[in-house]
């Protein structure tokens, strides 16, 4: 599903050049659950942003479902992103002015789904995430665990092929963290590919494969049994 | 999608209620000003358009040019003989109608006796050319017979109450009777003339009133408003080009002049719908509007709206940091740039919609108040027409897009990666742009303040500049022909009261226009030759000069001791100068001929302002008409200042004892002069109001912007305080940035304001030098307001507990 080869990303300021990704190459197949680990500044998040089409590499190739997307412009990237990729962030990133229902509905609006379809789909996902009873609440009225469940609901509402999770349990206690990891595992079992950046060995154990990074390169790959 | 935009827009407005209310308030006030000015402009542009044939109607005007080719006089009226000749010579003229102002007429019906203004003689074709709504009587016959009159509904009610006015007889000026043959609806406010009563034109044929022969042959009494109706699509240039030949054909050439009449007089056509805004001739039916005023106020409206829009741009981009995460999330879940732009624009459009709805209510409420200030008769109904409503419906979109586009483009370009990581900072270019916008706002405000100060300085100058005589305590009365036999006794009785100092008669009084002129002749060699000069005249009696206290600088005033003074002339210094005599003393005793009267110059008076300060002092000659002459129009009574009411009582008593049948009316000359500058006075008042509103909206924006900017610097303030900075230092530090912007704004505004006011002042023959202190004052006002605004917020930040600020950060 994802084939990355010789990917490079360099951040430049006036005096300093920081290599975030250094000729990175790997592949991820459809249905895989991959955890990306490494110390801060090793390039995990840069990798996630590039795979999530939020950022573009300086050089190298990135095939998404066999299509070269590294040179896509902003519009094409947004188009591909909204149909195929869901995001889950450490800080949830829900919109405070929208209710739970409206936050989850948002990707469907940008996909151009009809009102009835949106309603059904959001209800279905909220039911699955067991937060239907909170549908009319605003994010700040929810606990951290509930907020992350909403974020996961939002990430999956348009049935993306790929979910990118950036330290999804980073702001949660262990009980809520486990719940979120279980949700991700369930989604993966139903066929969704998941790439998760994490510092937590515990969370990484939910994945099939761990890619360990250092200085913008993969240094180790563990296959989980 | 739009439902979602709308929902978010509404929630954002509520969430950021401080900034939203500043934006909403600014936009509402700005739009209210615009709507008020728009109503005024609609009114001004609507003049005379209510006539079905408006675009086919033209007024014939007449101008005279001096030897140098300059137009010395241009009247909106022509001589009575031209009309019939025009219809005779030009078959393309479908209809011609003439009107003549009757001046103030005294109307008596039974025991009711009133002086009526705005009476007109009008011919029967009036109704074929103009749309006048008849209420009673047959418009096709009502003005046919001599001594018929039509009244407005209001006038009919005034004289006849609920009785049927038709066939009632009204006495005019105690001279002739007219039968009421019709009643019509008053001309609307947006008409260039407002006749209260229409006397049939055929009445003028009566020798006692005017005389048929004069009507047919006079080319010299140019008092007749003459309107022509042309076929649709006719190019009037065709007929205008034939006017010179036409003039030479119909006008008898002057026996003394070798040139053709068309060489010094012209006829021109003026479109009916252009009269109100574009015609400022020496004689008009009423005071017209001015297209320049329409432009000036349109510009002010746009400026104020621009200031309000800038507030929106500034405050929205300033608070964009607060919305960065939302934008990032939306992009991550699939929003494209265009969708975000649409979202932000829908917020500004929604705000504009709310603003325009409130502004419409404000406009409705404040229109009567504007009417008082501007002397207009504006009605909110002007806005209640479909094309206008549809235009108004577009306004929120235009204003919303104008104010929202920059913030929308700016915010929609945020990189989700950066904003979601909290790496976002409002960039330098965006801050600079905001500063530019503040500079624009304050530049406009400063220009308006400078303009206001200069308009008022010029007004003050015009009202206080010495006129060359003392205008105080002069009461003017109409001169009634019936008084001519008994005038000396009337005057003697007037002077019996010590409250009355003097009284004199004249054909025109100072504060009115000088429109009468005849050819003047001076001695060259042995013969009197035409001087080819434009010298105006006023018929004045022995006491005109003394009543006004006009200085005689050489020679003497008219005197009863010299029977020959009816052939004597008193010139002003300007006349002496244009004739080319070296000094007033040299001029006295020179032979002079004016029109058909030959005689000598007996005195020279010092120049004085007969007309307004818009006009240069014109060369003027006073002529003394023979006794019992009907040339006089007004009596000017000079009262002692100490007992004005006593003087008025005495004048009224004297009037009633001589003219028991004529209502007593009077004017104070100083009030007449004040009226000359009424339109400037109103313009000044409106300038003040709009300048105040502009700077108010600008400082409102500055208030919001500085509140935001200072909230971003709380940590810095905390650290500075910890290091020992005092409140004053911090207020100074925070206000300095904004004051710098005002200084830049002033430097931009000054030359623009100077140029604008230089152009405005050029319209006055007598004007002030642009005062330098007006600029300093405007700059200080703007800086003072900016400082007050920012220091208020800076003070709050400076006195707050630094520990709290550091913790907040």
User: If you average pLDDT over residues A147-169, what whole number do you get?
Assistant: 91
| A95–chain B Cβ distance below 8 A for any pair | yes
Round the CA-based radius of gyration of chain B to a whole number and report it.
Answer: 34
The reported pLDDT for the residue numbered B668 is 94
Instruction: Choose the closest CB to B337 out of A74, A105, A158.
Output: A74
Which residue out of B333, B337, B423, B424 would a mutagenesis test of the A interface target, given it has the greatest number of A Cβ atoms within 10 Å? B333
Instruction: Tell me which chain B residues have a C-beta less than 8 angstroms from the C-beta of A110.
Output: 330, 333-336, 339
For residue B405, what are its two tokens?
A: 């586009």
Taking residue B255's Cβ as centre, other Cβ atoms within 10 Å add up to 5
- What distance in Å separates the CA atoms of residue B804 and residue B715, rounded to the nearest whole number? 9
Cβ distance B331 to A98 less than 8 Å, yes or no, reads: no
Q: Give φ, ψ of B294 to 5 degrees.
A: -60, -45
Mean pLDDT comparison of A8-12, A75-79, A189-193, highest-scoring range: A189-193
Which residue in B has a C-alpha nearest to residue A80's C-alpha? B334
The reported pLDDT for the residue numbered B256 is 64
Please report where in the chains the tokens 């009502």 appear, as a residue: B142
Q: Which residue(s) pair with B199 in the sheet?
A: B121, B149
- What distance in Å separates the CA atoms of residue A50 and residue A31, rounded to the nearest whole number? 19
Q: What is the DSSP letter of B202?
A: G
pLDDT exceeds cutoff 90 at B113: no
CB of A7 closer than 8 Å to CB of A61? yes
Query: Residue by residue, what is the 3-state secondary structure of B331-386?
Result: HHCCCCHHHHHHHHHHHHHHHHHHHHHHHHHHHHHHHHHHHHHHCCCCCHHHHCCH
For residue B670, what are its two tokens?
A: 């100083």
Please report where in the chains the tokens 């006349």 appear, as a residue: B575
User: If you average pLDDT over residues B400-422, what whole number do you get?
Assistant: 85
| A56–chain B Cβ distance below 8 A for any pair | no
pLDDT exceeds cutoff 80 at A11: yes
The percentage of residues in chain B with a pLDDT greater than 90, rounded to a whole number, is: 58
Pairing, β B224-229 against β B57-65: antiparallel
Min mean pLDDT across A18-27, B325-334, B797-806 is at: B797-806
Which residue in A has a C-alpha nearest to residue B323's C-alpha? A95
Cβ distance B333 to A75 less than 8 Å, yes or no, reads: no
Instruction: Tell me which chain A residues have a C-beta less than 8 angstroms from the C-beta of B11.
Output: 97-98
Q: 3-state class of B558 per DSSP?
A: coil
Contacts of B336 (CB under 8 A, 6+ apart): A75, A78, A79, A110
pLDDT exceeds cutoff 70 at B430: no
Taking residue B666's Cβ as centre, other Cβ atoms within 10 Å add up to 14
User: If you average pLDDT over residues B190-197, what whole number do you get?
Assistant: 95
For residue B267, what are its two tokens?
A: 């006829």
Angle between helical axes of B714-722 and B727-761 (0-180°, round to 10): 130
- What distance in Å separates the CA atoms of residue B133 and residue B131, rounded to the nearest whole number? 6
The reported pLDDT for the residue numbered B427 is 53
The reported pLDDT for the residue numbered B555 is 95
Contacts of B722 (CB under 8 A, 6+ apart): B802, B806
ipTM: 0.85
The reported pLDDT for the residue numbered A60 is 92
- Going by C-alpha positions, the residue among B759, B516, B473, B443 that lies closest to residue B642 is B473
Cβ distance B334 to A74 less than 8 Å, yes or no, reads: no
The reported pLDDT for the residue numbered B805 is 64
pLDDT digits (tens, 9 = 90+) for B38-78: 999 999 999 999 999 999 999 999 999 876 778 888 999 99
Min mean pLDDT across A39-43, B37-41, B550-554, B713-717 is at: B713-717
Contacts of B46 (CB under 8 A, 6+ apart): B190, B382
Report in angstroms the alpha-carbon separations of B472 from B20, B282, B496, B548, B642.
55, 26, 21, 9, 12
- The model's confidence at residue B423, banded by pLDDT at 50, 70 and 90, is low
Instruction: Choose the closest CB to A78 out of B7, B336, B420.
Output: B336
Instruction: Choose the closest CB to A106 out of B15, B333, B337.
Output: B333
For residue B550, what are its two tokens?
A: 């006009």
The reported pLDDT for the residue numbered B677 is 87
User: If you average pLDDT over residues B677-687, what whole number do you get?
Assistant: 84
pLDDT digits (tens, 9 = 90+) for B333-386: 888 888 889 989 998 999 999 999 999 999 999 999 988 887 888 888 888 889
Cβ distance A95 to B334 less than 8 Å, yes or no, reads: no
Which residue in A has a C-alpha nearest to residue B15's C-alpha? A97
Instruction: Tell me which chain A residues have a C-beta less than 8 angstroms from the C-beta of B336.
Output: 75, 78-79, 110
Instruction: Choose the closest CB to A97 out of B8, B339, B417.
Output: B8
Measure in Å the smallest separation between the Cα of B7 and chain A Cα atoms. Answer: 9
User: If you average pLDDT over residues A99-112, what whole number do you get?
Assistant: 90
Please report where in the chains the tokens 């044929």 appear, as a residue: B205
- What distance in Å separates the CA atoms of residue B171 and residue B116, rounded to the nearest whole number? 12
The reported pLDDT for the residue numbered B257 is 66
Residues in chain B: 809
pLDDT digits (tens, 9 = 90+) for B209-227: 899 999 999 998 899 999 9
Cβ distance A54 to B11 less than 8 Å, yes or no, reads: no
Question: Cα A124 to chain center, whole Å?
Answer: 21
pLDDT exceeds cutoff 60 at B808: no
Helix H or strand E segment including A27: strand A17-28
pLDDT exceeds cutoff 50 at B614: yes
Cβ distance B7 to A49 less than 8 Å, yes or no, reads: no
- What distance in Å separates the CA atoms of residue B580 and residue B523, rounded to the nearest whole number? 12
Instruction: Choose the closest CB to B4 out of A94, A109, A111.
Output: A109
User: If you average pLDDT over residues B296-325, what whole number do you get?
Assistant: 87
The reported pLDDT for the residue numbered B199 is 96
Round the CA-based radius of gyration of chain A to a whole number and report it.
Answer: 17
Cβ distance A97 to B326 less than 8 Å, yes or no, reads: yes
- Going by C-alpha positions, the residue among B280, B279, B259 that lies closest to residue B271 is B279
The reported pLDDT for the residue numbered B809 is 41
- Interface A-B, measured as beta-carbon pairs within 8 A, has a size of 64
Q: What is the mean pLDDT of chain B?
A: 90
Measure in Å the smallest separation between the Cα of B5 and chain A Cα atoms. Answer: 11
> Structure pTM?
0.82
- What distance in Å separates the CA atoms of residue B302 and residue A62, rounded to the nearest whole number? 53
pLDDT digits (tens, 9 = 90+) for B474-495: 999 999 888 888 999 999 999 9
Instruction: Tell me which chain B residues have a C-beta less than 8 angstroms from the C-beta of A102.
Output: 4, 7
For residue B642, what are its two tokens?
A: 């100490």
Which residue in A has a C-alpha nearest to residue B2's C-alpha? A109
Measure in Å the smallest separation between the Cα of A224 and chain B Cα atoms. Answer: 30
- What distance in Å separates the CA atoms of residue B172 and residue B619, rounded to the nearest whole number? 37
Instruction: Choose the closest CB to B329 out of A93, A105, A109.
Output: A93
pLDDT exceeds cutoff 90 at A12: no
Instruction: Choose the closest CB to B417 out of A49, A78, A106.
Output: A49
| A1–chain B Cβ distance below 8 A for any pair | no
| A94–chain B Cβ distance below 8 A for any pair | yes
| A96–chain B Cβ distance below 8 A for any pair | yes
Contacts of B791 (CB under 8 A, 6+ apart): B731, B734, B735
Measure in Å the smallest separation between the Cα of A81 and chain B Cα atoms. Answer: 6
pLDDT digits (tens, 9 = 90+) for B386-399: 999 999 999 999 99
Q: What is the DSSP letter of A209?
A: E
User: If you average pLDDT over residues B298-307, what whole number do you get?
Assistant: 91
| A89–chain B Cβ distance below 8 A for any pair | yes
Cβ distance A110 to B329 less than 8 Å, yes or no, reads: no
For residue A137, what are its two tokens?
A: 């609440």
Q: Give φ, ψ of B536 to 5 degrees.
A: -80, 160
CB of B99 closer than 8 Å to CB of B118? no
Min mean pLDDT across A15-19, B116-120, B268-272, B673-677 is at: A15-19
| A153–chain B Cβ distance below 8 A for any pair | no
CB of B391 closer than 8 Å to CB of B398? no
- The model's confidence at residue B142, banded by pLDDT at 50, 70 and 90, is very high
- What distance in Å separates the CA atoms of residue B793 and residue B713, rounded to the nearest whole number? 12
User: If you average pLDDT over residues B201-207, what whole number do you get?
Assistant: 94
Which residue in B has a C-alpha nearest to residue A47's C-alpha? B417
């Amino acid at each position: 599903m994802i084939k990355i080869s010789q990917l490079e990303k360099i951040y430049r300021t006036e005096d300093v050049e920081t290599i975030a990704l250094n000729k990175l190459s790997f592949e991820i197949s459809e249905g895989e659950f991959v955890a990306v680990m490494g110390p801060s500044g090793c390039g995990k998040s840069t990798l996630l942003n590039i795979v999530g089409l939020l950022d573009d590499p300086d050089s190298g190739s990135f095939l998404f479902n066999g299509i070269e997307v590294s040179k896509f412009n902003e519009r094409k990237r947004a188009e591909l992103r909204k149909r195929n990729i869901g995001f889950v962030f450490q800080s949830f990133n829900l919109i405070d002015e929208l209710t739970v229902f409206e936050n989850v509905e948002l990707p469907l609006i940008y996909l151009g789904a009809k009102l009835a379809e949106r309603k059904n789909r959001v209800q279905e996902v909220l039911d699955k995430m067991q937060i239907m009873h909170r549908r009319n609440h605003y994010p700040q009225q929810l606990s951290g665990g509930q907020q992350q469940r909403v974020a996961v609901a939002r990430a999956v509402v348009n049935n993306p092929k790929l979910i990118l999770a950036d330290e999804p349990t980073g702001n949660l206690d262990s009980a809520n963290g486990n719940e979120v990891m279980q949700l991700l595992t369930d989604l993966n079992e139903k066929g969704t590919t998941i790439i998760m950046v994490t510092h937590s060995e515990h969370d990484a154990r939910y994945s099939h494969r761990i890619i360990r990074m250092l200085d913008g390169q993969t240094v180790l790959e563990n296959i989980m049994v | 999608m739009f439902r979602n935009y709308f929902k978010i827009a509404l929630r954002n407005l509520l969430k950021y209620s401080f900034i939203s209310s500043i934006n909403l308030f600014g936009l509402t006030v700005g739009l209210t000003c615009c709507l008020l000015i728009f109503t005024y402009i609609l009114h001004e542009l609507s003049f005379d358009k209510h006539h079905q044939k408006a675009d086919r109607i033209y007024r014939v005007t007449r101008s005279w040019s001096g030897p140098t080719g300059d137009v010395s006089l241009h009247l909106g009226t022509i001589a009575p003989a031209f009309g019939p000749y025009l219809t005779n010579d030009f078959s393309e003229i479908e209809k011609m109608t003439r009107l003549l102002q009757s001046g103030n007429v005294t109307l008596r019906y039974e025991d009711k006796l009133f002086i009526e203004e705005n009476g007109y003689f009008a011919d029967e074709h009036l109704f074929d050319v103009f749309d006048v709504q008849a209420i009673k009587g047959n418009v096709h016959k009502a003005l046919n017979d001599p001594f018929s009159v039509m009244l407005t509904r209001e006038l009919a009610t005034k004289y006849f109450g609920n009785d049927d006015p038709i066939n009632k007889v009204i006495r005019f000026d105690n001279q002739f009777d007219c039968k009421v043959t019709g009643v019509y609806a008053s001309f609307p406010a947006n008409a260039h003339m407002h006749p209260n009563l229409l006397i049939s034109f055929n009445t003028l044929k009566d020798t006692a009133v005017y005389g048929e022969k004069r009507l047919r042959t006079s080319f010299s009494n140019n008092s007749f408003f003459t309107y022509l109706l042309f076929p649709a699509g006719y190019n009037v240039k065709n007929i205008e080009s034939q006017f010179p030949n036409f003039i030479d054909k119909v006008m008898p050439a002057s026996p003394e002049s070798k040139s053709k009449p068309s060489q010094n007089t012209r006829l021109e056509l003026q479109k009916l719908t252009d009269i109100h805004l574009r015609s400022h001739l020496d004689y008009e039916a009423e005071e017209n509007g001015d297209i320049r005023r329409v432009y000036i106020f349109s510009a002010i409206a746009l400026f104020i709206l621009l200031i309000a829009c800038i507030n929106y741009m500034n405050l929205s981009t300033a608070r964009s940091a607060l919305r960065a995460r939302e934008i990032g999330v939306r992009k991550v879940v699939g929003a494209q740039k265009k969708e975000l732009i649409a979202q932000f624009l829908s917020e500004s459009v929604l705000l504009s919609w709310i603003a325009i709805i409130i502004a419409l209510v404000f406009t409705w409420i404040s229109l009567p108040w504007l009417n008082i200030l501007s002397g207009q008769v504006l009605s909110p109904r002007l806005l209640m027409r479909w094309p206008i409503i549809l235009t108004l419906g577009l306004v929120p979109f235009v204003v919303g897009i104008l104010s929202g586009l920059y913030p929308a483009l700016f915010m929609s370009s945020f990189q989700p990666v950066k904003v979601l990581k909290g790496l976002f900072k409002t960039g330098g270019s965006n801050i600079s742009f905001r500063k530019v916008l503040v500079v624009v706002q304050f530049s406009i405000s400063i220009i308006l303040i400078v303009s206001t100060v200069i308009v008022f300085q010029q007004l003050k100058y015009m009202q206080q500049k010495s006129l060359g005589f003392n205008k105080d305590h002069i009461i003017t009365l109409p001169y009634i022909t019936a008084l001519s036999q008994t005038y000396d006794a009337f005057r003697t009785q007037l002077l019996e009261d010590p409250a009355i100092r003097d009284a004199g008669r004249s054909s025109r009084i100072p504060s009115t226009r000088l429109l009468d002129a005849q050819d003047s002749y001076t001695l060259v060699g042995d013969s009197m030759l035409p001087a080819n000069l434009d010298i105006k005249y006023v018929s004045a009696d022995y006491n005109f000069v003394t009543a006004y206290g006009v200085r005689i600088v050489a020679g003497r005033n008219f005197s009863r001791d010299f029977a020959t003074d009816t052939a004597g002339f008193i010139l002003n210094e300007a006349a002496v100068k244009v004739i080319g005599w070296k000094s007033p003393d040299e001029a006295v005793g020179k032979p002079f001929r004016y029109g058909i009267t030959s005689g000598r110059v007996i005195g020279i008076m010092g120049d004085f302002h007969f007309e307004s300060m818009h006009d240069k002092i014109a060369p003027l000659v006073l002529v003394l008409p023979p006794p019992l002459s009907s040339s006089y129009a007004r009596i000017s009574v000079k009262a002692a200042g100490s007992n004005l009411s006593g003087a008025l009582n005495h004048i009224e008593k004297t009037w009633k004892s001589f003219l028991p049948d004529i209502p007593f009316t009077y004017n104070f000359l100083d009030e007449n002069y004040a009226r000359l500058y009424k339109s400037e006075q109103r313009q000044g008042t409106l300038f003040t109001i709009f300048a105040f509103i502009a700077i108010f909206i600008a400082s409102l924006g500055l208030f919001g912007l500085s509140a935001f900017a200072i909230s971003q610097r709380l940590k810095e303030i905390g650290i500075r305080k910890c290091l020992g900075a005092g409140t004053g230092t911090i207020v100074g530090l925070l206000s300095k940035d904004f004051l710098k912007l005002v200084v830049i704004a002033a430097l931009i505004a000054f030359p623009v304001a100077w140029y604008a006011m230089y152009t405005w002042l050029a319209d006055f023959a007598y004007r002030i030098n642009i005062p330098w202190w007006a600029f300093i004052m405007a700059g200080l006002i703007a800086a003072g307001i900016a400082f007050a605004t920012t220091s208020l917020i800076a003070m709050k930040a400076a006195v707050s507990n630094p520990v709290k600020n550091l913790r907040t950060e």
